[in-house]
Amino acid sequence: MANGPALYLASTPLTALLAAAVARAQGVPARLVLIEDYADAARWAQLLGGWRDSPFSQIDRIAGRASEARAASGDTAGVGRLARERSKRALRLQALASLAAIDAELRPAQVFVGNDRRPETQYALELAARRNGGPCGVYLDDGLFTYVGDAHARPWARLLIDTPLKKLAWGRWWQGAAQAGTTRWITQAWLAWPALARDQDAARTRTALPRAWCVDRAMARLAHAAAREFLGSSARPRERLVLALPHSRVLGEAAPRLRELVAALAARSVRCAVKYHPREAEGDAAGLQACGATLLPAGLALELLAARLPRGATLAGEASTALAAAHWLRPDLRVFDLGFSGHAFARRSRAFLASIGVGPATLETLAP
């Protein structure tokens, strides 16, 4: 544990939650930066800011994919790709300037990130490394990517196109990396399953993330507040079966089978709730509501929702980090992999989930 302040950067709700748990346990001055990669980042900033147990002296937001999408549909609507790229670059430069100001003010001894392959996180890691005389980055478990790699692997494009272009765009400090958590700034990683991580390089230490940090009373209060924020007056979902789905790019051609499943469950009087990926463009991409499913807000992190599910409730899904997280956080839950998607990432995820005890789903297991 470093003696000085710590900076946390999160581009997903999961990383923000882990940042909150780790920062509380570390007990040093901490500041959180939320990268607006999803539409509800502002709501998460407000939620975490109002949490009475928050370990963060300040919570900042910088532009991300959601900000860029809003800009593309607003000021640059109807213009060409070049104008959109200029708008995107301007937002990135603003984000980097904000990070430079935060670094100068906080002077973090450590920088915790869930994705060390973004310009924003790499810049924050580089600034801290320059000032501290060496790398001081910590990788926080980023879910399935930590154990099975990218959803859309493109090693040659990354090596021959992405890395040279990004070095040109951002500076010589930029580093391409095939696996999250392996850039030169990362010295250690906090992981749920250290022995199963793809990265086993001796240059970095891997430590088991204590489950107790994520399930104490303070985190339970955060889960309750999140449920009220995203579910309204209902602090718990009414359904005992929740389906967690990946982005439609990974879901692929599995939508018809999902519709058949939801209809079959409805025929057995089993109501299910569906949670889509936070960056899903359509509200009901697989058309499950018409089959009898209830849609949960996309911005609600399933890792927090799992804390609100009743004992013995069921969670099933496809290539979703939520399945692994729920199995780790709530051993009493029944967690299954649907096994519908033929996407390569889904197949790799299925093998990993099976290795930690998440087995295949059948109609009978979902509707006993």
Q: What residues form DSSP beta bridges with 112?
A: 8, 138
Same domain, 23 and 74: yes
Domain residue limits at 264: 231-366
Same domain, 235 and 114: no
Can you give the CATH number for the domain in which 300 is found? Answer: 3.40.50.2000
Picking from 154, 186, 214, the residue at the C-terminal end of a domain is: 214
Same domain, 191 and 286: no
Number of domains forming the structure of the chain: 2
pLDDT in tens, 93-126: 999 999 999 999 999 999 999 999 999 999 999 9
What is the C-alpha to C-alpha distance for residues 21 and 249, in angstroms, rounded to an integer? 31
Residues 6+ apart with CB under 8 A from 222: 17, 20, 47, 48, 51, 53, 304
Is 269 contained in some domain? yes
Average the pLDDT over 267-279 and give the result.
91
Average the pLDDT over 314-338 and give the result.
95
Please provide the average confidence, as pLDDT, over all residues in the chain. 90
Same domain, 194 and 236: no
Is 147 contained in some domain? yes
Same domain, 203 and 274: no
Q: What are phi and psi of 244, to 5 degrees?
A: -105, 120
What is the C-alpha to C-alpha distance for residues 118 and 224, in angstroms, rounded to an integer? 31
Give CA separation, 135 vs 29, 140, 179, 184, in Å.
19, 16, 18, 7
- The per-residue pLDDT for 78 is 52
What is the C-alpha to C-alpha distance for residues 52 and 236, in angstroms, rounded to an integer? 21
Is 221 contained in some domain? no
Other beta carbons within 10 Å of 255: 17
| Burial grade of 130 (CB within 10 A; 0-12, 13-18, 19 or more) | exposed
In the predicted structure, residue 133 carries a pLDDT above the cut 90: yes
Same domain, 94 and 196: yes
Same domain, 242 and 199: no
Same domain, 12 and 147: yes
Same domain, 162 and 277: no
Confidence of residue 25 (pLDDT cuts 50, 70, 90): very high
Is 64 contained in some domain? yes
